[in-house]
Amino acid sequence: MKFFLDTADLNEIEEACSWGVVAGVTTNPTLYAKIGGKLADFNTHIQRICELTDGPVSAEAVGTTREEIIREGEELAALAPNVVVKIPTMIEGLAATKALAAKDIPVNMTLCFSVPQAIMAARAGAAYISPFVGRFDDISEDGLAQLEDVVAAVASYDFDQSVEIIAASIRSAHHVTQSALMGADIATVPFGVLKKLVEHPLTDRGLASFEADWKKVVQA
CB 116, min distance to ligand G3P, A: 20
Q: Is 168 in the site for ligand G3P (CB under 6 A)?
A: yes
Residues in the chain: 220
Q: Is 146 in the site for ligand G3P (CB under 6 A)?
A: no
- Catalytic residue among 2, 38, 86, 216, which? 86
Q: Which span (117-125, 131-139, 191-199, 206-214) binds ligand G3P, by CB under 6 A?
A: 131-139
- Residues that bind ligand G3P (rule: CB under 6 A) add up to a total of 10
Q: Please give the angle made by the CA atoms of 143, 135 and 60, to the nearest 5 degrees.
A: 115
Name 129's bridge partners: 109, 165
Rounded CA separation 170/163 (Å): 20
Q: Is 7 in the site for ligand G3P (CB under 6 A)?
A: no
Contacts of 177 (CB under 8 A, 6+ apart): none
Sign, CA torsion 160/170/79/93: positive
Among 90, 92, 134, 191, binds ligand G3P (CB under 6 A): 134
Q: Which of residues 28-47 bind ligand G3P (CB under 6 A)?
A: 28
Does the annotation mark 86 as catalytic? yes
Q: Is 122 in the site for ligand G3P (CB under 6 A)?
A: no
CB 132, min distance to ligand G3P, A: 6
SS3 (DSSP) at 8: coil
Among 5, 9, 12, 26, binds ligand G3P (CB under 6 A): 26
**Cβ 42 vs Cβ 60: under 8 Å:** no
CB 28, min distance to ligand G3P, A: 5
Rounded CA separation 81/46 (Å): 12
- Which of 18, 22, 71, 27 is CA-nearest to residue 47? 27
CB 218, min distance to ligand G3P, A: 47
- Which residues contribute to the site for ligand G3P (CB under 6 A)? 6, 26, 28, 130, 132, 134-135, 168-169, 188
